[in-house]
Amino acid sequence: MKMKAALLGAVALAGLAPAAYAERGADGHVNILYSQAPSTLNPYLSSGTKDIENASLVIEPLAGYDEKGVMIPRLVDEIPTLENGGVAEDQKSITWKIKPDLKWSDGSPVTADDVVFTAEYCMHPEGGCAQLAKFEGVEKVEAVDPQTVKISFKEAKPNPYLAFVGSTTPVLQKAQFANCLGAAASTCTEQNFGPIGTGPFRVVEFKTNDVIQLEANPEYRDPAKPAFATVTVKGGGDAASAARAVMETGEFDYAWNTQIPPELQQAMEQGGKGEFVSGFGTLVERIEMNMTDPSPDLPEGERSTAKHPHPILSDLKVRQALSMAIDRNLLVEIGYGNAGRPTCNLVPAPEMYASTDNTGCLTQDIEGAKKLLDEAGWTDSDGDGIRDKDGKKFSLLYQTSVNPVRQDFQALIKGWWNEIGIEVELKAVDGSVFFGGDAGSPDTFQKFYADVEMYANNFDGTDPEAYLAEHTCAKAPRPDTQWQGENINRYCDPAYDAMIAELGKTGDLEKRAELAKKLNDMLTKESMTIVPLVDRGRLSARSKTLGGVVLNTWDSELWNASDWYRMK
Amino acid sequence: MLTFTIRRLLLAIPTLLFISLVIFLLLELAPGDPMSEVPLTVPPEVKQKMREALGADQPMFFRYMLWLKQFFVIEPLHILGAITGYDLAGDAQRIISWQSRSPVADIIAQRIPQTLTVIGAAYLIGVLIALPIGIYSAYRQYSWFDQLGTFISMIGFSVPTFFTGVLLIVIFSVKLGWFPSIYDTTLRVTDWASFGKQVKQMVLPVSVLALYNAAQISRYMRSSMLDNLGQDYVRTARSVGMTERVVVLRDVLRNSMIPVVTVIALGIPTIFGGAIITEQVFKVNGLGQLLISAIHGNDLPMVQTLTFIFAILIVLFNLIADILYGILDPRIRYD
Amino acid sequence: MTETAASPAALKPPRSQWRDVWDQFRTHKGALLGLIVLVSLVLFVTIGPFFRDAPDLTIAQQIKLRNKPPSWEFPFGTDQLGRDMLLRMMEGGKVSISVGLVAMLISITLGSTVGVLAGYFKRLDGPLMRMTDLFLALPLLPLLLVMVMLFREKLAGALGPEAGTFLLIVSAIGVTSWMQAARIVRGEVLALKEREFVLAARSIGTPPRRVILRHVLPNVMSPIMVAATLGIASAIITESALSFLGLGFPPDFPTWGRLLYDGVEQMQLFPARVIWPGLAISLTVLSVNYIGDGLRDALDPRIRGR
C-alpha cells in the first residue's frame, strides 16, 4: 500500500495522470465552487457558462477541445476531416461515427438516433434553443446506421465543426427527452435538472441556483475513471469568497473564475493551501468608440444612429490619440496580474488567427497622442486645460458595467485622457441592465448612449468567422431592429463587409487565417473603432491536494474532471 | 374586534390585487431583459427566439392575467393535488421561472427550510436579546450597561452586514478554523453529529443577522420604556406600594410594547424575504439570494411571485399588529 | 439636526421655550459630546479638503504611490491606484453625511406625517396604511432602477449632473424608507389619541392641528428619534448599495459606504481601508444617536422641569 502511495505521488509529481493505478471512485469526494450558481443542466435552455460547464460533467458532445484549442474526440473515435473522408468533398456534409458499445448512465446504448433527436430538439421552432446558432445552415441530421450520423448543410460549410463540438452542444438521450420538444421544453424540469448522460458523473440531486450533487457514472467508458466517487458543486457568492474557500479555509477543492486583484492573489497563494491556475482564450477587454452621435439633444430614435456621425470620434486621428494615451501594461498589472496580458488584437487567439504585427498600441505615447490631437485641430484655445475645436469642448462620456476592475480602469484611463486635455465623465451601469437588451432602457451597451464604452467579449470555439462578421454595417443596433445587433460601435465599411463575405466562401484554412487577420487589423489598428486593452485569461483556484486539473479556455473548465484525482 | 378582523381580511383581497398589479407594472417598466445573462456570443436572433419561447414577448395585459390565473387557481390546485394525491391541476401550465425553467413554487419550497432556519433563528435570537437589553437599558438609563448597550447596538446597526460577515469569516473560518465559511444546504440533520454540524454552520450567519436585528429592536424597546417610565401612572403605581418588578414588567412594559410590536411585525415578513447580503456572504442560498438572482436575471415570474407572497405576509402581519395594539391597550378601538 | 439645536441659542429671545431646551440639552453630556463629534466630522469633510489639495500628479507618478501604508505624507495611506485615502475620506464624507442627513429627514418627515395623519384621522387610516403596505411590498431594486431610468437624465439636465444625482438619490432613499416610521408613529398615535390629556384637549374644542402639534407630536418624539438615528445609518449604506449598482454618483466619486465596500475584499491585506470608513460611519451614527437622546430629553417638558 505504501509502495502504491509512493508511486502515486511520484506520478503526480511528474504531472501524469495516474490512470494505470487508479480505480473508479477510490478518491472519495471532491468539492467544487462556482461563484455563479448553475440554474439548469440543460445547455440548450440556458447558455450561461455556469450551466454549460456543470452540465459537461454529465452530458458530452461528440467532440471537444483540449487546452490548446485542438479538437479531441469524445463520443467518437476519430474526428471526421476532408482527409479521412468524414467531411464531404463539397463541404456540404459531415459524418460522425459513434464509439461502439457506448452506454448512457442508465445502461442503455448510445445510438445515432440520440444525436438526430438532439438536433431536432434544438432546431424545433418553438423550443427557444440557446444554441441554435450552432445549428445554423444545417439542412438535416440523419442516422445512416445505429453508429453513424450524417449532418448535411444547405450550402458548403468551411467550418463544419459547430453542432456537437464543444460542451455547448452535448448529446441528449432521446428516451429521456422525447416528450420535451418545442413548447414542452419548459415542462421537463426533471429532465433539465437531471439529464442522463455519458459523462464521468451522474446527477444525484440538483437544487437550482444552489447546489448539485453527483456520483461516478457506473457506465463511464473508461472503467478506471473517474477517481472521485462523489462530487458537490456549490454555487453562489463572489470571486473573492470563492478564492478564499479554496486558498485559505480549504473547504473546497476547486473554485471557478476567481478573478481577484493581483495583490490579493499573491497574498492568498502564500497561504499554501492552494494555487491559482490560469489560461488564455479569446476574451478581450476593449473600449468601443461610438461612430455615431449619442447627444441627448437629438430626437429619440436618432441618437446613436448612422444618421448622425459622431462629432469628435469620427476623426481617425482622435481615435488613435485616445488609444495611444493608454498604458495597457499598467492596466494589466493593476487589474489582472498573471491572468491578463496587454493586447492590440480583437482576435488574440488561436495562434493561427492572431495578427502578429499588431503591437503598436502596447507602448504608451502621451506626447504622440497630444501631437495627433493638435494635428486634428483640437487645441486648448481658451486655456482651461481642455481641448476645443470650433467652440466645442473635447468632452467624452465613458460608460461600462459595474465591476471593481472596470471602475479602476475607468479611473486610470480618465486620468490619461485628462493628461492629453480631454474632459471625461464616467458612468457605471448595473450589469443586468447594461448587458440586457431592453429596448426601453437608455443604459444598455447596444444602445450606446455614450461616447466610449468598455466591456469584454469573446467567441465560442476556435473559429472567429461569426465573431468578425458581427461588425458588418447591417448588424448595427438601431431603432428598427429594437436596438438588437452586435456591431456595437456602428462601424461600417463596405470593404469590410465584402471581405467577410469572402471569408464565408473560403474553405482553405491558411487563407481563412489570412483574411481573419486582415479583418482584425481593419477594426483595430487601421480604424481604432475597437481599442483592445487586455487579453483576459481565466483564473481559477485549485487545492494543492487536487490533481489532474488542466485549465481549458476553449471548452468547459471541467472538461477533464474524469482525470481529476486526490493527491496523497 | 372580530368584525374588524373580518372586515380587514376582506379588504385585504382588493388591496393585494392592486399591489400585485403595481408590482407587475413596476417590473415591466424596470429596465432589464431576461436575456441579460446570456453570453454575448449568442446572436440576437437566437435571443429573440428564446424570449418567444419564454412568452416574454406576449402583451403585458395577457401575461398579467395569465400570472393571476396561475397564482390563484393552478398553483393552489397543484398544492392541493400534492396533498390529497389526486391530480387536480392536470397539465395546466404552472408559473415557470425563466432562469431555470422549473416551477417557481417548487424552487421556493426548496428554499424555505434554509431561509427559516438561518434567518428565522437570527430574528428570534435578535428579539430575545433585544427585549431584555432594551428594558434594562431604559430602567437604568445612562448606567454603564446602558452606555455599552447603546454603543454596541449603534455599531451593530451602522456597520453593514457585508463587512461584519466577511470579518467573522476572516477571524473564525480563516484564522481560527472554528466554523465553516460556506453553508451546506444539503446537510440533513439525522443525529447528534449532523446536528452539531448544522449548529456550527449556522453560528456565523446567525450572529451577523442577530446583531443587526437586536440593535434595531433594542433601541425601540429602550426609548419606548423610557417614555413610559416617566409617565404619571408609574409614579402613582409606585406610590400605592406596588413592587418595582410588577410596575416595570407589567404596567410599563405592556404600555411600551406598541412600537416594538410594530417593528417586529414589520420584521417577520422580511424573514421570508431573506437577507440578501448575509445569504450571499455565507452562500446560504435562501429566498433572498433567489430574489436577487431573479432580479438580476430579470426572471419576472419569479420576482413577481416572490414579491407577491412577501406582500401577503406584510398585509397579514400588519393586521396582526393592529389586533395586538387593541389587546395591549384596550382603549384603542377601530370601530 | 445641528441647526435645530444650535440656532435657538443664537436667537436669544428672553426666556423662550427654545432657550430652556438648549439649557437642558447642554446638561446632557452624551448629547454635547455627540454634537461636538458630529460638528467635527462635518468640518472634516467640508473644510478639510481646502487644507489638503489633490496632488497634481500624472497617472504614471500617482501609480508609484499605490498601496502605501499610513505615513506623514499620507496619514491614511493610499489606495490601490495611489490615491490619497485621507482626501478620499473627506470627499466621501461630504456625500455620505449629506445624503445620510437629507435622506433621513425626508424619510422621517414623510413617515411621521403619514403616521400621525393615519393614527389621528380614522378616515385616512385605511387608505394611508394600505399605501404603506404597498410601499413595503414593492421590490426595492426594480423600484430604484425605474426611478433612475425615468428621472436621472431629466434631473441632470435641470440641475446639473451632481445636484441632479444628489436629489435623485436622497429622494430615492427617502421614498423607499419611510414606511417603518409611519407604522410606528401611527401605532403610538392610536394609543395617545385615547389618553386623557388628548381627550381633554379635544373635548374643549381644540382644532386637530393644534392637538397634533401641541399634544400628539411631542409625545411620539422618542420613536421618531430612534427611527431617525437608524435611518441615517441605513441611508449611508443604501447610498453605497446604489453606487455599486451604478445608480448613484459616478464611479470615481468616493463615498464612505463605497470605500468600505471596496475595502472589504482586501481587508486582510490593508485593514486601514475598512477601518477608516467603518469608523466614520459608526461615529456619525453614534453622534446622531446621542444628539437624538439629548434632544428628546430636552424637548420633554417633564424631564426638563426636573
Q: pLDDT, tens digit, for every residue of B164-173?
A: 888 999 899 8
Q: Does A50 touch chain B (CB under 8 A)?
A: no
Amino acid at A394: F
pLDDT in tens, B6-56: 888 888 899 999 999 999 998 888 877 787 777 777 888 888 888 888 888
Q: Output the pLDDT for position A253.
A: 94
Q: Specify the residue for cell string 435657538.
A: C8
Whether B321 and C187 lie within 8 Å, measured CB to CB: yes
Position with higher pLDDT, A1 vs B307 = B307
Binding-face residues of A in 11-40 toward B, CB within 8 A? 33, 37, 39-40
Interface test with C, best of B13, B137, B158, B175 (most C CBs within 10 A): B158
Query: How does DSSP assign A265-293, residue by residue?
Result: HHHHHTTSSEEEEEEEEEEEEEEEE--B-
Whether A404 and C145 lie within 8 Å, measured CB to CB: no
pLDDT in tens, A324-334: 999 999 999 98
Which chain A residues are within 8 Å of B169, Cβ to Cβ? 241, 244, 249
The beta-carbon neighbor of C137 closest among B158, B219, B311 is: B311
Which chain A residues are within 8 Å of B110, Cβ to Cβ? 207-208, 210
A29-273+544-566 and A281-377+392-537 in the same fold: no
Which chain B residues are within 8 Å of C260, Cβ to Cβ? 160, 163
Q: Does C145 touch chain A (CB under 8 A)?
A: yes
Which chain A residues are within 8 Å of B33, Cβ to Cβ? 436-438, 444
Residue A139 to residue A154: CA distance in whole angstroms: 5
Q: Output the pLDDT for position A14.
A: 42
Q: Does A415 touch chain C (CB under 8 A)?
A: yes
User: Which residue ranges form the domains of chain C, and what is each CATH number?
Assistant: 26-47+82-299 (1.10.3720.10)
Residue A265 to residue A269: CA distance in whole angstroms: 6
Residue A4 to residue A12: CA distance in whole angstroms: 12
pLDDT in tens, A148-182: 999 999 988 888 898 899 999 999 999 999 998 88
Of residues A260, A251, C234, A257, the one with CA closest to residue B282: A251
Of residues B26, B325, B311, B263, the one with CA closest to residue C125: B325
SS3 annotation, chain C? CHHHHHHHHHHCCCCCHHHHHHHHHHHCHHHHHHHHHHHHHHHHHHCHHHHCCCCCCCHHHHHCCCCCCCCCCCCCCECCCCCEHHHHHHHHHHHHHHHHHHHHHHHHHHHHHHHHHHHHCHHHHHHHHHHHHHHHHCCHHHHHHHHHHHHHHHHHHHHCHHHHHHHHHHHHHHHCCCHHHHHHHHHHHHHHHCCHHHHHHHHCCCCHHHHHHHHHHHHCHHHHHHHHHHHHHHHHHHHHHHHHCCCCCCCCCCCHHHHHHHHHCCCCCCCHHHHHHHHHHHHHHHHHHHHHHHHHHHHCHHHHHC
Q: Output the pLDDT for position A381.
A: 87
Distance from CA of B184 to the nearest CA of A (A): 8
The beta-carbon neighbor of A428 closest among C67, C157, C246 is: C246
Position with higher pLDDT, A18 vs A64 = A64
pTM over 0.80: yes
Whether B157 and C285 lie within 8 Å, measured CB to CB: yes
- Per-residue confidence band for A439, with pLDDT thresholds at 50, 70 and 90: confident
CB A263 within 8 A of CB C67: yes
Distances B224 to B138, B153, B187, C119, C261 between C-alpha atoms, Å: 8, 16, 42, 17, 34
Distances A533 to A336, A347, A454, A489, A524 between C-alpha atoms, Å: 12, 12, 9, 16, 11
- Per-residue confidence band for A16, with pLDDT thresholds at 50, 70 and 90: very low
Whether A183 and B53 lie within 8 Å, measured CB to CB: yes
Q: Output the pLDDT for position A19.
A: 44
Whether B27 and C289 lie within 8 Å, measured CB to CB: no
For residue A355, what is its C-alpha cell?
A: 495578427
CB A447 within 8 A of CB A433: no
The number of C-beta contacts closer than 8 angstroms across B and C is 162
Of residues C93, C104, C94, C80, the one with CA closest to residue C276: C93
Q: What are phi and psi of A34, to 5 degrees?
A: -115, 120
Residues A122-137, mean pLDDT to the nearest whole number: 87
Taking CA–CA distances from B316, the nearest residue in chain C reads C133
Q: Which chains touch B (3 or more CB pairs under 8 A)?
A: A, C
CB A517 within 8 A of CB A355: yes
Whether C251 and A428 lie within 8 Å, measured CB to CB: yes
Whether A267 and C269 lie within 8 Å, measured CB to CB: yes
* Alpha helices, DSSP H, located in B91-168: 104-115, 121-139, 144-158, 161-168
Q: Does A402 touch chain C (CB under 8 A)?
A: yes
Whether C138 and B22 lie within 8 Å, measured CB to CB: yes
Interface test with B, best of A210, A215, A257, A457 (most B CBs within 10 A): A210
Which chain A residues are within 8 Å of B34, Cβ to Cβ? 436
User: Which residue ranges form the domains of chain B, and what is each CATH number?
Assistant: 107-330 (1.10.3720.10)
Q: A329 pairs with which residues across the strands?
A: none
Taking CA–CA distances from A134, the nearest residue in chain B reads B42
Q: Does A367 touch chain C (CB under 8 A)?
A: no
CB A256 within 8 A of CB A53: yes
Angle at the Cα of A199 (from A195 to A204), degrees rounded to 5? Answer: 50
Question: What CATH architecture applies to the domain A281-377+392-537?
Answer: Roll (3.10)
As a whole-number percent, the residues of chain A with pLDDT over 90 amount to 54
H or E element, residue A541? strand A530-543
Q: A349 pairs with which residues across the strands?
A: none
Distance from CA of B124 to the nearest CA of C (A): 19
Q: A254 pairs with which residues across the strands?
A: A32, A542
Q: Tell me: domain A29-273+544-566, CATH 3.40.190.10, correct?
A: yes
Q: Where are the domains of chain A?
A: 29-273+544-566, 281-377+392-537
For residue C168, what is its C-alpha cell?
A: 435623485
Whether B182 and A252 lie within 8 Å, measured CB to CB: yes
Q: Output the pLDDT for position C303.
A: 59
CB A358 within 8 A of CB A344: yes
Q: B277 pairs with which residues across the strands?
A: none
Distance from CA of A415 to the nearest CA of C (A): 6
Which chain C residues are within 8 Å of A430, Cβ to Cβ? 145, 245-247
Whether B91 and A133 lie within 8 Å, measured CB to CB: no
The number of C-beta contacts closer than 8 angstroms across A and B is 188
Whether B32 and A193 lie within 8 Å, measured CB to CB: no
Of A25-39, A245-259, C58-72, give the lowest mean pLDDT range: C58-72
pLDDT in tens, A523-558: 998 999 999 999 999 899 999 999 999 999 899 999
The beta-carbon neighbor of C180 closest among B224, B230, B266 is: B266
Q: Does C252 touch chain A (CB under 8 A)?
A: yes
For residue C85, what is its C-alpha cell?
A: 485615502
Of A3-17, A341-355, B219-233, give the lowest mean pLDDT range: A3-17
For residue A153, what is its C-alpha cell?
A: 448543410
CB A342 within 8 A of CB A328: yes
Q: Output the pLDDT for position A486.
A: 87
The beta-carbon neighbor of A236 closest among B96, B97, B283 is: B283
As a whole-number percent, the residues of chain C with pLDDT over 90 amount to 18
CB C272 within 8 A of CB C71: no
Angle at the Cα of C96 (from C93 to C100), degrees rounded to 5? Answer: 140
Binding-face residues of A in 187-246 toward C, CB within 8 A? 240
Per-position pLDDT tens, chain C of length 306 = 334 444 444 444 455 677 877 888 888 888 899 999 999 999 998 888 888 777 778 888 888 888 888 888 888 888 888 888 888 899 889 888 999 999 999 999 999 999 999 999 989 998 999 999 999 988 888 888 888 878 877 887 788 777 888 898 899 899 989 999 999 999 989 888 888 888 888 889 888 888 888 888 888 888 888 888 888 888 888 887 787 777 778 888 888 888 888 888 888 888 888 888 888 988 888 888 888 888 877 776 665 544
CB A343 within 8 A of CB A533: yes
Whether B38 and A486 lie within 8 Å, measured CB to CB: no
Residue A450 to residue A472: CA distance in whole angstroms: 21
Q: Output the pLDDT for position B216.
A: 87
Q: Output the pLDDT for position A430.
A: 83
Q: Does C58 touch chain A (CB under 8 A)?
A: yes
Whether C67 and A296 lie within 8 Å, measured CB to CB: no
Residue A392 to residue A258: CA distance in whole angstroms: 44
Which chain A residues are within 8 Å of B36, Cβ to Cβ? 431-433, 435-438
Interface test with B, best of A31, A33, A39, A553 (most B CBs within 10 A): A39
- Per-residue confidence band for A102, with pLDDT thresholds at 50, 70 and 90: very high
Residue A8 has pLDDT above 70, yes or no: no
Query: How does DSSP assign B13-58, residue by residue?
Result: HHHHHHHHHHHHHHHHHSS--TTTTS-TTS-HHHHHHHHHHHTTTS
H or E element, residue A244? helix A239-247
**Whole-number average pLDDT of chain A:** 88
Interface test with B, best of A241, A252, A482 (most B CBs within 10 A): A241
Interface test with B, best of A35, A209, A536, A554 (most B CBs within 10 A): A209
Residues B234-250, mean pLDDT to the nearest whole number: 81
CB B153 within 8 A of CB B215: yes
Residues B258-279, mean pLDDT to the nearest whole number: 85
Of residues B3, B210, B20, B252, the one with CA closest to residue B125: B210
Where does residue A90 rank: exposed (0-12), middle (13-18), buried (19+ CB within 10 A)? Answer: exposed
The beta-carbon neighbor of C187 closest among B162, B259, B311 is: B259
**Whole-number average pLDDT of chain B:** 86
pLDDT in tens, A294-330: 988 888 888 999 899 999 999 999 999 999 999 999 9
Other Cβ atoms within 10 Å of A388 Cβ, number: 18
Other Cβ atoms within 10 Å of A282 Cβ, number: 26
Interface test with A, best of B26, B28, B33 (most A CBs within 10 A): B33
Strands A93-97 and A148-153: antiparallel
For residue A285, what is its C-alpha cell?
A: 477587454
Of residues A232, A235, A238, the one with CA closest to residue A209: A235
